[in-house]
Amino acid sequence: MAKDEAPLGSRAPEFIKARRMLHLSWQVVIFIVGLAVVVAGVIMLPLPGPGWVVIFGGMAIWATEFVWAQLVLRWTKRKVTEATQRALDPRVRRRNIILTTIGLVIVAALVGFYVWKFGFEMPWNIKDQ
């Protein structure tokens, strides 16, 4: 465990943790709220909205109470940090810029050919070829 990481376990207030039934009820409420947020995020994946951000928000809600969610969030943060470091590598950035440029040139050539061949007509409106 890194120095800046909080210890694993429940972050419920002490008076809640001191009473078993109250703590269990607290966990059930946290689970239901987190589940509702995660489900909302999953619904947002195909629809407009910040789906992944909401899903990770639900995971953060779960992580206030459940060790498994804390471990998932730590793993996710570590992977995102590693991906960020790889993306900032000058060789990787240069490669990504080159590949993006090649892709844009290909798309521009295809669009240019289409406009040359058919004009500014939508594909579903073309009768004769």
Q: What average pLDDT does the chain have?
A: 87
Is the overall model pTM greater than 0.95, yes or no? no
What is the average per-residue pLDDT within 44-56?
A: 90
Q: What is the pLDDT of residues 64-92, one digit of tens each?
A: 888 899 899 899 889 989 988 888 888 88
Scored b (16 or more CB within 10 A) or e, 36-64 reads ebbeebeebeeeeeebeebbbbbbebbbe
Q: What is the pLDDT of residues 86-126, one digit of tens each?
A: 888 888 889 989 999 999 999 999 999 989 888 887 777 76
Residue type at 120 in one-letter notation: F
